[in-house]
Structure 1
Amino acid sequence: MPDGLRSWLAPPPPTGRGAEVIDDPARRRLVVTEILVVLAVTLGLSALRSALSLIDSLLATTPLSEQQVALNAPAAAATLVDLALQLTRILQLVGWGAVGAYLLLRAGFAMRDIGLDARRPGRDAAATVGLAAVIGIPGLGLYLVAHAVGVSLTIAPTTLTDTWWRIPVLLASAAANAWAEEIVMIGYLLTRLRQLGWSANRSLLAAAVLRGSYHLYQGFGGFVGNLVMGLVFGRYWQRTGRLWPLVAAHTLIDVVAFLGYAALKGHVSWLP
């Protein structure tokens, strides 16, 4: 293995704000409780629902690859009610991310401590494109292979009707998903686990497994793909301390998936 890659894969030493481990038992209990509460009302609960959804799919007589799951689906028959419900879901995701950021602020962190600042826009933009390519292109290939061998449901990134608000909602949904996941799973969770004395590798693996788990409703391909995404994104943050590239790259991946599917569905033979 090249020395540069070995160095990147090796766990980095904890540095910066929050590197110190909380020793006081009472404070540790509060932090553990806080983590459990945050996960219970956000992505941890999503992981439980996702696992149950996969169990239900496996118990069905229809093979996984013949079942479909929509990531952005109509929520009401009336167009304006549907729009209102879509915006409500987006607002919920924004709120999840805001909870993680707010709790870090209350704990004494500034947003620059987790990489949410504008100190290096050029390098962050380049990292965004690189991360999106590293995850998005192999991710599409993994999905097609997993679907072909029957371990993934057919994923429809959108089944929204072609209304005037479809594209703005899909763009907002992509950004909201990215904001919620990267703030909670990377900025918040990895910071708090580091304060509890978890090693970089242990916290990275735990967060990545959780990320994969709340995508289990897509099948085993969704779990593996998002597990790998969690490992890559988490290590990037541990190495650089930059969170904006992760939010932006995740947004870009989802935008391409949502809009690309809407444009290509029915026009290409390779898309399930």
Structure 2
Amino acid sequence: MAHRLRDHGRPQDRSHRASATRLDRRDRPGRDPPHSRRGMVGRRRAAQHDRRGRPRDRGLRARRVDVVSSFRAIPEQLQQLLCVDRLQADPLPLERGWPRTAFRMSVWLLIAVLWWIEFGAGTIAAVRILIGIPYTAPTYDGSAASVQDQVLSVLHDVVFSILAGWALVTLVRLHVPGGSTVHYRHPGRWVAGALSIPFTTFAISLGFSTVGLVNTVLQLPQKGFPASTYDGAWAQWLGLADSAMAGPTEELALLGVVVVGLRRIGCPWVVVCITAVVVRLPFHMYYGVGAIGLSVWVLLLVLIYRRTGTIWGIIVAHSLWDVAAHLGPASAMLNTTVMTLAAIVISARYLPKESPPAIDQGAPKVG
């Protein structure tokens, strides 16, 4: 019996020894039970990595599932992107009756006056070019623009930009008498403006590509703005400055004043988008019927402005676009390519990780 005594004299049962060898390793002491949380996590990690800790190839089917899941998540990400409103141009709480009606009429009148001052002549020229009627003005009929013409054009654009900027700032800072002035600022507005530059360039490129696509599908001739000629080097440099002024003149009046003004009088975003398209397309009608494709550009600009809450990046991108187009096709192609690649990189790096800010519901009522 002595040779069968182990573990302090207790007899060793051979059946117990045999059953112990059949125990699963996961059930032995010192390991987590297989159905516990830690046990399941361990098995999942073991299935994803080999003995050396390298990730296993999950196979083509698993990768297809990941791709399908990514595509299914796109609508949700777009919805989150569209729900973010950093502009926060809330309607003014005016009393019903004459005060509210007068304010609405003044905003619509402001939009109409600004449009006619800066873009009325351009609309007439665009329509004349479209239907083939001669229009005797520099840069429209092919005649050379003198230094005096360019100086007057640049001064006109500068004065109009100051006027439109003052109108936009006034609309932003309007408040009810007796209340406090609301400053619509948010952290990172300069970063948001810088990030909006490549997206604005991509929106402009997409809009003009849509113009060419519409004309191609409808088998219409591809039209464009008449080539400008200048009377000397100084006139050419002033023409470059005049091209750069297209950014502040158009975006301050046709985007900033339109969006903020209509939102301040309580117009829904659908009305804002339609109005932004209506005021932007007429002086681009020299492109023909395909100018309707520019509505894609306008709608994307409204979205970018609403998403970022700042307009300076949109102005810079528009000015860079016109300056590059003025310098030649090579500069325009380089600008479009660089900005489009930057927009793709920013989208892949930052946008999927952003989420709309939490809405403060306020403190619960007591009593």
Per the TM superposition, whether the score is higher than 0.5 is: yes
The structure that has the greater radius of gyration is 2
TM normalised by structure 1 equals 0.72
Aligned match of 1:31 in 78, 103, 109?
103
Instruction: Give the direction of change, closer, same or farther, for the CA distance of 1:183–1:214 in structure 2 (3 Å limit).
Output: same
Alpha carbons 2:244, 2:319 under 8 Å: kept: yes
Aligned equivalent of 2:298: 230
What SS does structure 1 have at the residue aligned with 2:225? strand
Aligned to 2:157: 93
Q: 2:322 aligns with which of 232, 254, 261?
A: 254
3-state SS in 1 of match to 2:230: coil
SS at match of 2:245: helix
**Structure-2 separation of matches of 1:129 and 1:99:** 27
2:255 aligns to what SS in structure 1? helix
- The answer as to whether partners of 1:114 and 1:187 remain within 8 angstroms in 2 is no
Alpha-carbon distance in 1 for matches of 2:210, 2:222? 10
Map 1:31-110 → 2, pairs under 5 A: 31-44=103-116, 56=128, 59-60=131-132, 72=139, 82-107=146-171, 109=173
Greater relative CO (CA pairs within 8 A, separation 6+): 1
Partner Cα separation in structure 2 for residue 130 and residue 180 of structure 1: 20
Is the contact between residue 118 and residue 160 of structure 2 (CA under 8 Å) also seen in structure 1?
A: no
The residue type paired with residue 156 of structure 2 is Q
**In 2, distance between residues paired with 1:59 and 1:104?**
35
Q: Per-residue displacement from partner, 1:208-267 (whole Å, max 9, x unpaired)?
A: 232123322332223422x22211111111122010111011111111211124989xxx
After superposition, residues 36-185 of structure 1 pair within 5 angstroms as 36-44=108-116, 56=128, 59-60=131-132, 72=139, 82-107=146-171, 109=173, 120-136=189-205, 138-146=206-214, 148=216, 149-150=219-220, 152-156=222-226, 158-161=227-230, 163-185=232-254
Q: For 2:91, what is the secondary structure of its paired residue? A: coil
Alpha-carbon distance in 1 for matches of 2:275, 2:298: 9
Unaligned 5+ residue runs, structure 2?
A: 1-73, 175-181, 333-367
With structure 2 as the length reference, what TM-score do the two structures score?
0.55
The count of aligned residue pairs is: 249
**Structure 1 residue 19 corresponds to structure 2 residue 112:** no
User: Which residue of structure 1 aligns with residue 48 of structure 2?
Assistant: none
What amino acid is aligned across from residue 249 of structure 1 in structure 2?
A
- After superposition, the CA RMSD in angstroms is 4.0
Matched residues in 1 for 2:163 and 2:241: separation? 19
Of 177, 190, 197 in structure 1, the residue corresponding to residue 266 of structure 2 is: 197
The reply to whether residue 218 of structure 1 matches residue 280 of structure 2 is no
Do the aligned partners of residues 217 and 31 (structure 1) sit closer, same or farther apart at CA in structure 2, a change above 3 Å counting?
farther
Distance 2:317 2:150 in 1: 22
**Are 1:69 and 1:154, in contact at CA under 8 Å, matched by a contact in 2?**
no
The answer for the alignment partner of 2:341 in structure 1 is none
Distance 1:3 1:162, change over 3 A: farther
- CA shift, 1:197, in A, is 0.7
Instruction: State the one-letter code of the partner of 1:153.
Output: K
Distance change >3 Å, CA 114–CA 106, structure 1 → 2:
same
